[in-house]
Amino acid sequence: MAEKQAKQNEKKVTPRSEDFAAWYNDICIRAELADYSPVRGCIVFRPDGFAIWEAIRDELDKRIKKTGARNAYFPLFIPQSFLQREAQHVEGFAPELAVVTHGGGKELEEPLIVRPTSETIINHMFAQWIRSHRDLPMMLNQWCNVVRWEMRTRMFLRTTEFLWQEGHTAHATREEAERETLTMLEVYRQFVEEFLSIPLIVGRKSAAERFPGAVETYSIEGLMGDGRALQCGTSHFLGQNFAKPFEIRYLDDQNQMQFVWQTSWGVSTRLLGAIVMAHGDDQGLRLPPTVASTQAVVVPIFRKPEEGEKVLAAARGALESLTQAGIRARIDDREGLTPGFKFNDWEMRGVPVRIEIGPRDVASGEAVLARRDKSGPESKSKASLATIADAVGVLLGEIQKNLYAQAKAAMIANTRKFDDYAQFRRHMEGEGGGGFADVYWCGNPVCETRISEETKATCRVIPLTSDGAAGKCMVCGESAPERAYFAKAY
């Protein structure tokens, strides 16, 4: 009995409620999204994982281009001296740089750093390309890898090397750059909420959480299944902090020399981690149909060879209909595996819809549809084989919305208002002390530090739209002009 139990456990992942971190790792590995690599902190994106990134990239690339930015590519290596030009920027990145000291068997005259982000090299080029107000705005984006020598890494969430998209823009006026910063923030918000079905809170970062070198940092924050927050994307207003040291100047229409105003913004492969943690369950991954490389899988079920012929014919027919309708579908006709095994296998991989076709279905001209976003009897329904593609198409749309609704309900349930610091502290320390805390904060870093030191919760964002009413800081009691969201974060 105990042996049988142990056997069962090997097939399942660590329950999410038991150990969230172990569950997360199990899912990433078992769903074959990624694997560990021989290099510490670096992961391999396996095809099922990379397909998600490709889907994100393809969609977001379109949305970015729609705003007027164009893609370019800048070098991986950056002269070390470039980083040193902007004081905050150096300070922020110095500890996590990978430095190349040798090339071609010789020591380099000046070490090269592997880009942790490309502000410096891009601005170096901007300085050469921008002469006149007619060259502005200049809006570039690049899809690339970056390296940050993090002390502690976690699959997708924090890896030594990661893939991302970084946009860099230069504008004639402060107002225009500030507008651009918020425009991109909104592009990200819509993209993550609609395409990845992850609900967000949006806002401005506190000074302590700001990007090194930025005047303001804005971010979109999601809430994961364990109640911890995850920064899913950032947009920075850089002011003239890079324009001045890199001398990015232009002549305005009054023939006056002016420094440009800039922004930068990015999302990374961390979003894969967000998808896993926002939607996954004890059965495995649950993918929003938009990013699922397989949206529907057909599982034929039969016993005798003569049944097999009919069932397989019907299954292939269904596959054909689905494919013709533009649904990314496949058939699981592997031999020697039981249907039950296949059900679990595809659930682990997060495929949104499973279509079961057996002898009974063929006889009645139907198929059983199982939707991954629900469990138990309500996950299953029947559809006519004649109109299977329509039914699946509708179902995929519902799943996309329902995953968002489920995550949104979880976020609302885990967002609480606190007026009293002692109460806030008790909540954060307590069992399941997660979620967003919506509080008044005076903006003083002293109070912020105290909160993070005593509760491990950090300021996630100060919402863009406040309810207008000022209050008293939860910690010091001084007047607080706006509310802020605090949470334990990744």
Contact residues toward RNA (CB under 7 A) are 7-8, 10-12, 21, 25, 36, 40-41, 92, 95-96, 148, 150-154, 157-160, 162, 164, 211, 219, 231, 234, 266, 268-270, 283, 301-303, 335-341, 343-345, 347-348, 356-361, 367-368, 370, 379-380, 456, 490
Nearest-approach distance from CB 7 to RNA, in angstroms: 6
Closest CB 21 distance from RNA, rounded Å: 5
CA dist 421 → 416, 438, 447, 489 (Å): 13, 12, 11, 19
Q: Smaller CB distance to RNA: residue 7 or 66?
A: 7
Q: In whole angstroms, how close is the CB of 164 to RNA at the nearest point?
A: 7
Report the nearest approach of RNA to the CB of residue 129 (Å). Answer: 26
Which residues are CB-neighbours of 371 under 8 A, at least 6 positions away? Answer: 352, 353, 379, 380, 381, 395, 398, 399
Residue 353, helix vs strand vs coil: strand
Element (DSSP H or E) covering residue 266: strand 261-268
Report the alpha-carbon distance of residue 175 to residue 171 in Å, rounded: 9
The residue (of 106 and 152) whose beta carbon lies closer to RNA is 152
**Residue 143, exposed/middle/buried by CB under 10 A (0-12, 13-18, 19+)?**
middle
Which pair of tokens denotes residue 463? Answer: 């919402």
Q: Which residues contact 253 (CB under 8 A, 6 or more apart)?
A: 133
Q: Which of 104/305 has CB closer to RNA?
A: 305
The tokens for 143 are: 């899809």
Minimum Å gap between C-beta 341 and RNA is: 4
3-state secondary structure of 245: coil
Q: In angstroms, give the least distance from the CB of 292 to RNA.
A: 17
Cβ-contact 49, 34 below 8 angstroms: yes
- CB of 232: closest distance to RNA in angstroms? 7
Least distance from C-beta 11 to RNA, angstroms? 4
Task: For RNA, give the closer residue by CB, 347 or 482.
Answer: 347
Which is it for the CA torsion 15, 20, 21, 27, positive or negative? Answer: positive
What is the nearest approach in angstroms of RNA to the Cβ of residue 244?
Answer: 22
The tokens describing 217, both together, are: 């940092």
Pick 141 or 480: Cβ nearer RNA: 141
Nearer residue to RNA within complex by CB, 29 or 125: 29
- Nearer residue to RNA within complex by CB, 58 or 96: 96
Residue with structure tokens 């014919």? 313
Q: Which is nearer to RNA, 19 or 478 (CB)?
A: 19
| Burial (CB count <10 Å: 0-12, 13-18, 19+), residue 410 | middle
H-helix or E-strand containing 299?
strand 296-300
How many of the other CB atoms lie within 10 Å of CB of 186? 16
Specify the residue, 36 or 77, whose C-beta has the smaller distance to RNA: 36
Task: Give the residue with the Cβ less far from RNA, 197 or 455.
Answer: 455
Provide the minimum distance between the beta carbon of 254 and RNA in the complex, in angstroms, as a whole number.
38
Question: Using only C-alpha atoms, what is the Rg of the chain?
Answer: 26
